[in-house]
Amino acid sequence: MHPRRSQIDLVSLFVGVQVPLFVADVERYQKRLFEASMNGPTPDVPIQDIFALYRRMKTLMGMYTAFCPR
C-alpha cells in the first residue's frame, strides 16, 4: 500500500495570500487614485477605470470568500 499523500490546494493558498495583499495595496493608494480621476478635463486615471477596479476587487473578494472560508 502507498502512504496517503496530503494534497495542497494551490488556488486557496494563492488566493488566501495574494488577495489580502492586493486589497491592502488598493486601500493604500485609494486617495491617490481618486484624486487622479478628478484632476481636470483629462484625468490621469479615467473614472471608468476606477469602477472597473472596484468590480474586479469585488470578484476577488468573492473568490476569497469561496476559497478561504473562516
Blockwise average pLDDT, block size 10, the chain, 70 residues: 76 94 94 89 90 95 91
**How many CB atoms lie under 10 A from the CB of residue 29?**
11
Place of cell 500500500: 1
> Quick one: three-class SS letters along 5-44?
CCCCCHHHHHHHHHHHHHHHHHHHCHHHHHHHHHCCCCCC
- The model carries a pTM of 0.75
**How high is the pLDDT of residue 41?**
85
